[in-house]
Amino acid sequence: MDPIIQMRQITKAYRGVPAVKSIDFDLFRGEIHALLGENGAGKSTLTKVMAGVVEATSGEMRYRGQPVKFASPNEALQDGIAMVFQETSLVPSMTVAQNLYLGEEKFLNRLRGIYISAQQFLQSLNFPVDPTAVVETLGAAKRQMVEIARAVHHNAEVIIFDEPTATLTPEEKRHFFALMQRLKARGVSIVFISHALEEALAHADRITIMRDGEHVITDNAANFDREMIVRAMVGRALSDELYGKSRDAAKIRGAGNKVLSVEDISMGAVVRNNSFSIFEGQITGVFGLIGSGRTETFKVVSGIYKRNFLRGGEISLDGEPVRYYVPREAVKDGIVYVTEDRKSEGFFETMSIAENLFSGLLASGREKNAYVSMREMHDLAAEWRSTLNIKAINDNARVVELSGGNQQKVVIGKGLIQKPRIIIFDEPTRGVDVGAIAEIHQLINRLADQGLAVVVISSYLPEIMNLSDRILVCRQGRIVEEFSPTDATEEKIMYAAVH
Amino acid sequence: MTIRSVFSRLDQERIVLAIAVLVFIIASVTLNGFLTAANLVNIVRSVSVLGILAVGMAIVIIGRGIDLSAVAIMAMSVAWYLQMLGDGTSQAMALVITLAAVLAIGLANGFLVAYADVPPIFVTLASGAFVFGFVRSQLITQDAVPVPPQHWIELLGKTRWLGIPIEVFLFTAIVFVAFLFLRFTKWGRYVYYAGDNPMAARNLGIPVRPMLLLRYVISAFIAFTAGILTASSLLSINTRVVNSTLLYDIVLVAVIGGIGLSGGKGGMRNVIVGALLIGIMLNAMTILDIPNLYQNLIKSTILLVAIIIDGVLNPRDEQTAQQGDI
């Protein structure tokens, strides 16, 4: 088989932190290649390099035997490499045909003309999509068909799918895989990223597994079975001295009082009949892959959503039913949510460290005086800067200028100043450097020792294994299994999460 | 980028102040009748009213909003008040009714922005037009409503202290109170947090929506105060001012002073330097007898340039843009 894409020693680092490290990857002509791995394994980054969405830091890529370097996705598309993202890049308010021919409209653009040619084109692909339908009225599967049709229309020889089946119903999935076979029959090479192992086993010709930004194994799909894949996905080689050791059974904290219990809550399509409890004095780890509803569940609990269509269920705090419509009410009751997206909803970017930390006190309602003094602010900042070991020139340094780890410490500090009883960390170490990860983990442990009810949401298994006194696994909008750290293994947790 | 904007921010204030001084000196030397006691009083008077209006606008803009109804509230509330007085309503009654109406408009603006999630630029554009249309057609009988003779508003206009008109002291007082509010009160700090990142502020438990309400109410009351002062110096209020360029002058003062339209930045110092520059400039243009048309052309050009510079210095990234523009 001759490879259409050859990648050699590809490395891509974000702010010095490598997301993929010296990867070699071959894609053969006319094959279906599945790319598997945990969240953060580097699958998306690797495919983005292929499709010109991001530029590799180092390494070489050959396409049809020629070395290439794409400056933009559009350049890659012109050369025949198309990427279909999880969130589609279609224009929702336009019709299917308009989307298909987006960017190549003639000066005098007759709609009738493009509808006719779109109709013929879609028929040739055997896609049951009406070219005059407005995209926002279509379901996820049909949207995907439009994206694929667009890729084929651009004569793509390579199509990359980023978790194509995540939003599809079983019936739609069947159509999708049939379509993939048809594309293959036309000689198109396909890469698809997936979390569903069965899909990869059933439909891929070859499978590549990645872990922590490194290539683990590539082989024919026929040579794999479920167990082998899971082991390859999680079996890490103690790459990080931070992780890897399983928890010492004696150090596992027992459950204190039950503070929060959630009964059967549902919201939209993401949270479905979810029930669980949170206890004081221990760390509850919540593991789930992206889209499993873990973040959404806790956002509902702490009132973060502006419009939350809770379709039933009950949340109780200390046995009393509660329902928070704004975060302020939750904060007053001692529930603090530390966001996973610190840039857009975590900190105040034009402001200093001191002002950011001070916001926690001001918002908590503990500051009874209407009068606030700058001295109070600086005292508070000095205290918390040393408690959290925030590295900055002084209090007046602006938060945007700090490293990811120090930014995260500021965001956590803001939450801790509010003196929470229940603190929910959503991906507390995302985009954080290794040194700061250890400090943040120590801090989280200290909080649990002090008797707080701590929740850590993470899609990084070692983090969950390392911190949790109790592990909840979330899948398809609900907690599906609970493990104690003594009998949990990464394999078991992954099984529960992907099934 | 961030360091650059810190410096440029510091610079903008100084540059504007320097330009104001420069314009003042040039005008003093070249223009007859500029550097006279009477004209200087004129300048500080107009700077004061403009400045007071800009204080309200600044508080709203810092919280990532904008209040385009300020001029309508200013003119129409006072016009209705004077009309009621002229029609024989008792002093106290007229004042109470007017204040209640001002409060209601401020609350309506705030409610629509905070709870109905309508962008403030549309809310206040519509409410301003509504206030003007409703008051002009239903409540008052002519464009200009005079101040009744010997009324306290007239006396207010004549009040001098050390030869300086009362507006100047009122402007100083309002700026000072607003400064204390923004800088040293909990609620004032909330304005900055909500202006910088409304989502983060909300998640943290800051009462973002009630505070929005408060800001539009403050802005409405400040507009009413400015209206009273306008009436006191002219002895009447002309409602045609609603359709003048005054509103743009106010935004111009705030933006040119260095209050970023993207929210969370600036303070009362910026209002003072902005008001000084614009006030001196407008006065110089009037003395030069530049026709109104050309004055507007010059002002709009300056506003446009100021907004472009503001956009370059305080870029909004995609995420801020998604959270709702002004």
Q: Say whether residue B177 is in contact with chain A using an 8 A CB cutoff.
A: no
Chain-chain contact of B201 with A371 (C-beta, under 8 angstroms)? no
Assigned token pair, A49? 């390099």
What is the CA angle A341-A347-A349, rounded to 5?
115
Q: Do residue B184 and residue A371 have CB atoms under 8 angstroms apart?
A: yes
pLDDT greater than 80 at residue A196: no
Q: How confident is the model at residue B233 (pLDDT cuts 50, 70, 90)?
A: confident
Percent of chain A with pLDDT over 70: 92
Q: In whole angstroms, what is the distance from residue B97 CA to residue B282 CA?
A: 35
Residue A266 has pLDDT above 60, yes or no: yes
pLDDT at B305: 82
Terminal C-alpha separation, chain A = 33
| 3-class secondary-structure state, position A111 | helix
- pLDDT for B109 equals 93
The proportion of chain A whose per-residue pLDDT surpasses 90, expressed as a percent, equals 12
pLDDT in tens, B52-103: 999 999 999 999 999 999 999 999 999 999 999 888 888 889 999 999 999 9
Rounded average pLDDT over A304-308: 75
**Does the beta-carbon distance from A331 to B185 stay under 8 Å?**
no
Cα angle for residues A274, A279, A283 (degrees, 5° grid): 95
Q: Does A422 touch chain B (CB under 8 A)?
A: no
How far is the first Cα of chain B from the last one, in angstroms, to the nearest whole number? 23
User: What's the pLDDT at B320?
Assistant: 41
**Beta carbon pairs, A and B, within 8 Å:** 89
Task: Identify the pLDDT of residue B104.
Answer: 95
Q: Do B264 and A343 touch (CB under 8 A)?
A: no
Whether B258 contacts chain A with CB within 8 A: no
Contact B199 A365 (CB under 8 A): no
Tell the burial category of B317 from Cβ atoms under 10 Å away from its Cβ (0-12, 13-18, 19+).
exposed
> pLDDT (tens digit, 9 = 90+) per residue, A373-394?
888 888 888 888 888 888 877 8
**Cβ-Cβ contacts under 8 Å, A363 against chain B:** 193, 201, 204-206
Q: pLDDT, tens digit, for every residue of A123-177?
A: 877 778 888 888 878 777 778 788 888 888 888 889 998 877 766 666 777 878 8
Tell me the backbone φ, ψ of residue A26, rounded to 5 degrees: -120, 140
User: Cβ contacts (< 8 Å) between A400 and chain B: which residues?
Assistant: 2
Residues A391, A75: Cα–Cα separation, whole Å: 41
Residue B219, pLDDT score: 95
Tell me the nearest-neighbour CA distance from B319 into chain A, angstroms. 6
pLDDT of residue B325: 35
pLDDT digits (tens, 9 = 90+) for A27-44: 998 899 999 887 667 888
List of chain A residues whose C-beta atoms are within 8 Å of the C-beta of residue B198: none
Sole residue written with tokens 């209407």: A370
Judged against a pLDDT cut of 60, whether residue A239 lies above it is answered with no
Interface test with A, best of B4, B203, B209 (most A CBs within 10 A): B203
Give the mean pLDDT of A305-334. 84
Helix ranges, A211-326 (H): 226-234, 294-301
Lowest mean pLDDT among A184-188, A270-274, A282-286, B89-93: A270-274
Subunit contact A326:B265, Cβ cutoff 8 A? no
Chain segment B124-138, per-residue pLDDT in tens: 999 999 999 999 888
Query: Do A362 and B190 lie within an 8 Å CB cutoff?
Result: yes
Report strand pairing: A158-162 vs A189-193.
Answer: parallel
> Other C-beta atoms within 10 Å of A236: how many?
17
CB A298 within 8 A of CB A426: yes
Sheet holding A258-267, edge to edge: A271-279, A258-267, A314-317, A320-322
- Which residues, 6+ apart, have CB-to-CB distance to B324 below 8 Å? B64, B117, B119, B198
- Confidence category of residue B315, pLDDT binned at 50, 70, 90: low
Report the C-alpha gap between A85 and A48 in whole angstroms: 10
Dist CA B223 CA B50 (whole Å): 10
Are A344 and B203 a contacting pair at CB < 8 A? no
- The pLDDT of A354-370, averaged and rounded, is 82
CB contact under 8 A, A348 and B3: no
Per the CB < 8 Å rule, is A372 touching B185? yes
Closest CB to A372 among B189, B202, B204:
B189
State residue A478 phi and psi, 5-degree precision.
-150, 160
DSSP B115: T
DSSP 8-state class, residue B242: G
Euclidean distance between CA atoms B189 and B138, whole angstroms: 40
Q: Where do the domains of chain A lie, and which CATH numbers do they carry? A: 3-234 (3.40.50.300), 256-498 (3.40.50.300)
Q: Is B185 on the interface with A (CB under 8 A)?
A: yes
Which two tokens mark B232?
């006191």
Residues 304-323 of B with CB under 8 A from A: 314, 319, 323
Give the model's pLDDT for residue A424: 94
Q: Could you tell me if A92 lies within 8 Å of chain B, comparing CB atoms? A: no
Chain A, 116 to 175: residues with Cβ < 8 Å from chain B are none
**Continuous segment of H or E residues that includes residue A162:** strand A158-162
- Structural domains in chain B, CATH included, are 2-315 (1.10.3470)
pLDDT at residue A82 tops 50: yes
A73 vs A468 pLDDT, higher one = A468
Once rounded to an integer, what is the mean pLDDT over residues B111-131?
92
Q: Using only the alpha carbons of chain A, give its radius of gyration.
A: 25
Q: Which of B2, B200, B265 sits opposite A401 (nearest CB)?
A: B2
**Shortest CA distance to B91 belongs to which of B154, B156, B152?**
B152
Number of H helices, E strands in chain B: 14, 4
User: What local confidence, expressed as pLDDT, does residue B126 receive?
Assistant: 94
Q: Do A363 and B205 touch (CB under 8 A)?
A: yes
Average pLDDT, chain B: 85
Give the pLDDT band of residue B282 (cuts 50, 70, 90): confident
Q: Among B117, B186, B193, B204, which would you mutate to test the A interface (most chain A Cβ atoms within 10 Å of its Cβ)?
A: B204
- The answer to whether the Cβ–Cβ distance between A343 and B319 falls below 8 Å is yes
Percent of residues, chain B, with pLDDT higher than 70: 92
Whether the predicted pLDDT of B11 surpasses 70: no
Beta carbons of B252 and B306 less than 8 angstroms apart: yes
Token pair, residue B316, equals: 């909004």
CB contact A394 to B (< 8 Å): no
Whether B2 sits inside 8 A of A372 (CB atoms) is no
How many Å apart are CA A60 and CA B32, to the nearest integer?
A: 74
More confident: A1 or A229: A229
CA nearest to A337 within chain B: B203
Say if CB A398 and CB A406 are below 8 A apart. no
Contact A476, A293 (CB under 8 A): yes
B70-86 and B91-114 helices cross at what angle (nearest 10)?
A: 160
Average confidence score pLDDT of chain A: 83
Taking only Cα atoms into account, the Rg of chain B, rounded to an integer number of angstroms, comes to 20
Overall average pLDDT of the B176-186 stretch: 91
187-206 in chain B: CB under 8 A from chain A: 187, 189-190, 192-193, 196-197, 199-206
- pLDDT, position B111: 95
**Candidates A299, A345, A377, A380, partner chain B, best to mutate (most B CBs within 10 A):** A345
pLDDT for A86 beyond 70: no
A339, B203: Cβ pair inside 8 Å?
A: yes
Query: Rounded CA gap, A354 and A359, in Å?
Result: 9
Q: Given CB atoms, is A44 within the 8 Å cutoff of chain B?
A: no
Place of tokens 């070395």: A67
**Is A241 a residue whose pLDDT tops 50?**
no
Using an 8 Å Cβ cutoff, are A451 and A394 in contact? no
B163 touches chain A (CB under 8 A): no
- Residue of chain A whose alpha carbon sits nearest to that of B209: A326
Q: Which amino acid is at A298?
A: F
The pLDDT value recorded for residue B13 is 73
Q: Is the pLDDT of residue A68 over 50?
A: yes
Q: A37: helix, coil or strand?
A: coil
What are A296's strand-pairing partners?
none
Considering only CB atoms, B185 lies closest to which of A349, A359, A371, namely A371
pLDDT tier at B105, thresholds 50, 70, 90 = very high
Residue B218 or A64, more confident: B218
B182-230, pLDDT tens digit by residue?
988 888 899 999 998 888 999 988 899 999 999 999 999 999 999 999 9
Residue of A336, A342, A348, A373 to mutate when probing chain B, most B C-beta within 10 A: A348
Distance CA A489, CA A499 (A): 16
